[in-house]
Structure 1
Amino acid sequence: MTVGALRVGIRIPRRWLAKLLADGYAGVLDDAVLMACEAITNAIRHSDSGDLEDPGTATVVVSGAGRTVRVEVLDASSPDTAPRLADEDLEAVSGRGLHLLDILSGGRWGSCDGDHGRTVWFEAGA
């Protein structure tokens, strides 16, 4: 699913993913949807996809094998930012998204840059 990289654009992929996972992956649905929303939000906030003057897109790709689901979020990347765990600051008002993704995925997440942007992926399930 490809969505416009606008801050209001999270609700559409959230609902789409919840419907997609409801039957075969109900046990990981809530965690997978939450992690996907975090990854999409990061794509909008920290990549060139979320350029306020010329917004691009974010694409969500889902695949499953057995009891594990893999979600990938593709964006336009940015030469200035790369996904990384922020320093833990209990008083910070942001910077917890990747920590949440790391905890909920059991450390099974990562990112890679390609010819057409960056992909942030995670796995949920067994």
Structure 2
Amino acid sequence: MIVWEQVHTERLSSGGDLAVRGVRAYVRRTLVAALEDRAHDFDLDDIDLMVCEITTNAVRHSASGDAGRGVWVTILVAKERIRVEIQDDGGSNGCPVIPPQGSGWGESGRGLMVVNGLADCWGTLPGARGRFTVWFEVTG
């Protein structure tokens, strides 16, 4: 059983388009403060990349990309584990999935492949009103 020492949840949105870099910056600031002297135990650059990929998917494929909309970000910190959850604003046509093998390396479709390669584990959770949460965990 994982005992989460800290839990940080924030709704991130803007008057215009949701800025992916703003979500990434929030997660980085929160983790640096939460980890204090343990930040070197985790690859924060990998976490930045995964946050960007998931948030970009939310902006592209859900109502999170509409003006004034956003995402819920939850960061859970345990002694040797971090979990980041990003919930979109709903409105997508389906569950976030990795594209089938052989679908090529087109302009899109690689985000969850990146998450799959960098995270120790990850997944999706359906929510109310068509919302989805994509989460990942890393160990330090």
Structure 2 unpaired stretches of 5+: 1-9
Residues 35 and 79 from structure 1, CA distance in 2 versus in 1: closer, same or farther, beyond 3 angstroms? closer
Q: How many residues align?
A: 123
CA distance in 2, matches of 1:8, 1:49: 7
Contact 1:49–1:76 (Cα < 8 Å) also in 2: yes
RMSD of aligned residue pairs (Cα, Å): 2.1
TM-score normalised per structure 1 = 0.83
CA distance in 1, matches of 2:31, 2:132: 24
Tell me, yes or no, if structure 1 residue 50 matches structure 2 residue 85: no
Match of 1:101 among 109, 115, 120: 115
Question: Kindly, what percent of the aligned residue pairs are identical?
Answer: 33
Tell me, yes or no, if structure 1 residue 60 matches structure 2 residue 73: yes
Whose Rg is larger?
Answer: 2
Contact 2:18–2:68 (Cα < 8 Å) also in 1: no
1:6-52 deviation line (CA, Å, top 9, x unaligned): 6561121212221222233332211111111111111111112223x
Match of 1:73 among 86, 103, 109: 86
Which residue is equivalent to 1:10?
20
TM-score normalised per structure 2 = 0.76
CA distance in 1, matches of 2:17, 2:49: 16
Structure 1 unpaired stretches of 5+: none
Contact 2:76–2:84 (Cα < 8 Å) also in 1: yes
Contact 1:38–1:101 (Cα < 8 Å) also in 2: yes
Match of 1:112 among 117, 122, 125: 125
Residues 112 and 67 from structure 1, CA distance in 2 versus in 1: closer, same or farther, beyond 3 angstroms? same
Helix, strand or coil at the partner of 2:43: helix
